[in-house]
């Protein structure tokens, strides 16, 4: 479950950084600091010192103030979701927006806090080693993605199930391969519990870095005032084995957060989890607690469309909400059996608009209300009217460019680090490997085709829109036969040292609100905030109300009343939700405008 905007950051060679047992940062990208942290490959090994190591890629977006400034608020560790999403990619594309939301506004004065943001690539992901080497290079990964069956064909016959089963087996076995250069089968070390321990070590090492950085900065100051020096060092001293974490996790990042809270309940300073997964369902490999609200999104969009009228919504039929929803469904379903042919032109060859194309647009609209919902309905209306320009747009919007192999990749050969890390294409391999190792205790790889058929029937009753593609999560583990080297087998619950702030949308495409509500029972004293919007996670529909709550929580620890409901600033077709007596949109204040722009940048 991805929550990282699709923007490609500049290249940087992580080989420039020597791995260390502490955080030694060097400048990277543009305004960031990068480090490679050496951690035990297996946190439960009898003798970790003599065992192989993993190297975690860590990135820091520095605070706007130095650590010696009284306004320095510490570090917030983030995770974008997945499993298998790159925290490096998240911070490069979204870090400054996240920092704006958490940092103090202008009105806070000297009491406001400013934070470092820290993220990392989890086990098996992107720049962290050992890598999962599921594909020999980026081009073969894209070819695998493009050859997957059209969503319109999924589960339509035993032959289709056989093809999907074979694809899943092939990918699982490929991701399970032993790295020829190290002899390590990385898949056994990528599960969430190992990553939790990596995260705790990052927090500890940040405390060590904070104290060292304070000594460095205070040592440069002239003249030295002993009392000021001692007060600053008392505030910034590394509290060995007691450092607490500030955390902000989205989607699967909420499972990572919940697992951390269960394993280390006394080590939480702040924890925001948004788009909450049901961790017990995830660890069981059930995948049955995700889609209960997803179809309500299209129904709700249809209601907004009807309320807005035909001038604002091209699918409007001047009849009823139900007719709009029915028209949407009819157009989409017709593409399964009647894809639209487009002849070649001066710039494009002949092409076909299929259900697969529109399913990708559908997922975009259901995940990201603010940025994609209206365009989704525009595309469907254009297809219904056989508007050739819009049809062509629907086709062109889903293609992938196959990258050329780098010179280093050509030199080092298939499955080399240069080939595997050439570009960040998708989380497909790590996503499935991490999830399958997390559920391996439940023998998820022993799934039979009959059992899968029963699961598919149950899933279809929840969602007609997302269930076909979602079912691949359940099927993914048939190719993974091993177990994780170590896992956490305790319950995902506990009494945390500080209350957790859980956020859920009224209708989330894959993480329903009820999962966020459940957090208040699993972790007593936690608070749930409901954002009255559609889509996946809070940024799917920018709400300054939600943004202010997150800021205040990180700033002072203040929590709203449990069950607080926040409205988004805009809803599809309807427009702004905050109007004056003349019906015009009210302007936002300076700080709210800053929060809104930051959330908008995340969509």
Could you tell me which residue, 233 or 227, shows the higher pLDDT? 233
The CB density around residue 61, as the number of other CB atoms within 10 Å, is 24
Task: Report the C-alpha gap between 602 and 275 in whole angstroms.
Answer: 14
The CB density around residue 29, as the number of other CB atoms within 10 Å, is 16
Residue 601 lies in a domain: no
Residue 511 lies in a domain: no
Q: What is the mean pLDDT of the chain?
A: 91
pTM: 0.93
Residue 239 lies in a domain: yes
Distance in angstroms between the alpha carbons of the first and the last residue of the chain: 15
Residue-wise pLDDT tens digits, 410-421: 666 776 666 665
Closest by Cα among 407, 410, 423 to 138: 423
Residue 9 lies in a domain: no
What is the number of structural domains in the chain? 3
What's the average model confidence in pLDDT over 115-134? 93
* In a shared domain, residues 73 and 119: yes
The CB density around residue 244, as the number of other CB atoms within 10 Å, is 18
Look at residue 260 in the predicted model and tell me its pLDDT.
99
Residue 318 lies in a domain: yes
* In a shared domain, residues 387 and 447: no
* In a shared domain, residues 113 and 233: yes
Look at residue 5 in the predicted model and tell me its pLDDT.
47
* In a shared domain, residues 58 and 41: yes
* In a shared domain, residues 197 and 100: yes
Residue-wise pLDDT tens digits, 511-551: 999 999 999 999 999 999 999 999 999 999 999 999 999 99
* In a shared domain, residues 302 and 205: no
Residue 170 lies in a domain: yes
DSSP state of 229: H
Domain endpoint, select from 228, 243, 258: 243
* In a shared domain, residues 336 and 373: yes
Q: Give the domain range for residue 410.
A: 138-176+404-479
- Give the lowest-confidence range in 189-203, 208-222, 279-293: 208-222
Inter-residue contact 66 to 54 (CB < 8 Å): no
Domain endpoint, select from 358, 374, 397: 397
Report H helices in 404-541.
407-412, 417-420, 428-438, 449-462, 467-475, 513-522
Domain endpoint, select from 447, 463, 479: 479
* In a shared domain, residues 196 and 112: yes
* In a shared domain, residues 336 and 385: yes
- Give the lowest-confidence range in 135-144, 282-291, 500-509: 135-144
In Å, how far are 147, 325, 339, 379, 439 from 356, measured between CA atoms?
A: 12, 20, 10, 14, 29
- Give the lowest-confidence range in 39-48, 283-292, 308-317, 336-345: 336-345
Residue 116 lies in a domain: yes
As a residue count, the chain comes to: 603
All residues at 6 or more sequence positions from 501 whose CB lies less than 8 Å from its CB, including other chains = 270, 271, 272, 273, 526, 527, 529, 549, 550, 553, 559
Residue 150 lies in a domain: yes
* In a shared domain, residues 83 and 221: yes
* In a shared domain, residues 122 and 232: yes
Residue 466, helix vs strand vs coil: coil
Residue 344, helix vs strand vs coil: coil
Cis amide leading into 285 (omega within 30): no
DSSP state of 310: T
Triad 391, 395, 401: Cα angle to 5°: 155
* In a shared domain, residues 71 and 118: yes
Task: Report the C-alpha gap between 592 and 142 in whole angstroms.
Answer: 41
What percent of the chain is predicted at pLDDT more than 90?
73
């Amino acid at each position: 479950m991805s929550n990282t905007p699709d923007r490609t950051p500049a290249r940087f060679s992580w080989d420039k950084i020597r791995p260390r047992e502490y955080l030694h940062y060097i400048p990277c990208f543009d305004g960031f600091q990068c480090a490679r942290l050496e951690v035990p490959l297996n946190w439960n090994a009898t003798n970790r010192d003599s065992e192989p190591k993993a190297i975690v890629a860590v990135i820091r977006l520095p605070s706007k103030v130095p650590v010696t400034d009284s306004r320095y608020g510490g570090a917030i560790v983030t995770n974008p979701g997945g499993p298998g999403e790159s925290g490096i990619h998240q911070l490069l594309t979204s870090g400054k927006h996240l920092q704006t939301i958490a940092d103090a506004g202008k009105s806070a004065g000297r009491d406001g806090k400013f934070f470092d943001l820290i993220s990392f690539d989890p086990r098996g992901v992107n720049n962290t080693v050992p890598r999962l080497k599921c594909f020999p290079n980026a081009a073969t990964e894209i070819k695998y993605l493009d050859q997957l069956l059209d969503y319109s064909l999924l589960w339509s016959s035993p032959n289709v199930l056989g093809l999907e089963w074979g694809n899943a087996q092939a990918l699982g076995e490929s991701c399970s391969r032993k790295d020829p250069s190290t002899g390590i089968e990385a898949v056994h070390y990528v599960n969430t519990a190992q990553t939790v321990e990596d995260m705790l070590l990052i927090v500890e090492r940040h405390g060590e870095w904070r104290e060292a950085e304070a000594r460095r900065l205070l040592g440069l100051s002239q003249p030295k005032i002993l009392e000021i020096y001692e007060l600053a060092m008392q505030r910034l001293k590394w509290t060995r084995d007691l450092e607490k974490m500030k955390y902000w996790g989205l989607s699967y990042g909420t499972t990572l957060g919940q697992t951390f809270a269960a394993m280390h309940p006394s080590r939480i300073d702040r924890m925001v989890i948004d788009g909450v997964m049901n961790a017990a369902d995830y660890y069981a490999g059930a995948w049955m607690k995700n889609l209960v609200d997803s179809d309500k999104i299209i129904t709700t969009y249809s209601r907004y469309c009807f309320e807005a009228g035909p001038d604002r919504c091209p699918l409007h039929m001047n009849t009823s909400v139900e007719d709009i929803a029915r028209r949407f469904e009819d157009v989409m379903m017709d593409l399964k059996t009647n894809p639209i042919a487009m002849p070649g032109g001066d710039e494009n060859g002949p092409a076909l608009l299929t259900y697969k194309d529109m399913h990708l647009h559908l997922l975009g609209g259901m995940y990201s209300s603010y940025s994609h919902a209206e365009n989704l309905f525009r595309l469907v209306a254009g297809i219904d009217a056989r508007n050739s320009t819009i049809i062509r747009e629907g086709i062109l919007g889903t293609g992938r460019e196959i990258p050329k192999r780098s010179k280093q990749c050509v030199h080092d050969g298939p499955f080399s680090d240069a080939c595997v890390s050439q570009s960040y294409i998708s989380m497909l391999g790590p996503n499935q490997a991490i999830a399958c190792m997390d559920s391996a205790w439940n023998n998820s790889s022993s799934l039979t085709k009959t059992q899968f058929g029963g699961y598919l029937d149950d899933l279809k009753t929840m969602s007609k829109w997302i269930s076909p593609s979602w079912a691949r999560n359940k099927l993914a583990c048939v190719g993974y036969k091993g177990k994780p080297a170590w896992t956490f087998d305790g319950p995902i619950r506990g009494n945390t040292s500080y209350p957790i702030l859980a956020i859920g949308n009224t209708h989330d495409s894959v993480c329903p609100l009820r999962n966020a509500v459940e957090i208040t029972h699993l972790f007593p004293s936690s608070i749930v905030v409901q954002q009255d919007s559609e889509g996946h996670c809070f940024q799917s529909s920018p709400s300054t109300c939600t943004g202010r709550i997150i800021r205040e929580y990180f700033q002072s620890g203040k929590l709203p009343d449990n069950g607080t409901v926040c409205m988004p600033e805009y809803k599809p077709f309807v427009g702004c939700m905050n109007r004056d007596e003349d019906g015009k949109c009210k302007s936002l204040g300076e700080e709210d405008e800053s929060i809104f722009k930051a959330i908008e940048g995340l969509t």
